[in-house]
Amino acid sequence: MALKVGLIGLGLMGKPMGQNLLNAGFVLTVWNRTPEKAKDLADRGAHLAANPRDVASRSDVLIVIVSDPPAVEDVLWGANGAIDGLPPGSVLIDSSTISPELARRAAAACSERSVDYLDAPVTGGDWGAKKGELVFMIGGKENVLERVKPVLSVLGKKFFLLGPNGAGQTVKLAMNLLLALEVDALAESLALVTAGGVPGERLIDVMQSSMARATVLDVKAPSMLKNEFPSSFPLRLMHKDMRLALELARQKGLNLPAGEASYATYSAVKDKSKDDPDYAAVARFWSKP
Ligand X SMILES: NC(=O)c1ccc[n+]([C@@H]2O[C@H](COP(=O)([O-])OP(=O)(O)OC[C@H]3O[C@@H](n4cnc5c(N)ncnc54)[C@H](OP(=O)(O)O)[C@@H]3O)[C@@H](O)[C@H]2O)c1
Binding site residues, ligand X, CB under 6 A: 9-14, 32-34, 37, 65-68, 70-71, 74-75, 96-97, 122-123, 125-126, 232-233, 237
**Closest residue (Cβ) to ligand X?**
11
Q: In the complex, what is the shortest distance from the CB of residue 197 to ligand X, in angstroms, rounded to a whole number? A: 35
How many alpha carbons fall within 13 Å on the CB side of residue 100? 24
Smaller CB separation from ligand X, 67 or 165: 67
- Smallest separation (angstroms) from ligand X to the CB of 212: 24
CB of 283 to ligand X, least distance (A): 18
CB atoms within 10 A of CB 109: 19
Closest CA to 180 of 244, 137, 119, 273: 244
Query: Quick one: 90 or 97, whose CB is closer to ligand X?
Result: 97
Catalytic residue flag (residue 172): yes
Q: Which is nearer to ligand X, 73 or 188 (CB)?
A: 73
Q: Provide the CA 123 distance to its chain's centre, in angstroms.
A: 7
Task: Give whichever of 98 and 283 is closer to ligand X, judged by the CB atom.
Answer: 98
In the chain, the amino acid numbered 241 is D
Q: Shortest distance, CB of residue 199 to ligand X, whole angstroms?
A: 29
- Of 15, 39, 157, 172, which one is the catalytic site residue? 172
Least spacing, CB of residue 103 vs ligand X, in Å: 12
Q: Which is nearer to ligand X, 148 or 244 (CB)?
A: 244
Enzyme catalytic residues:
172
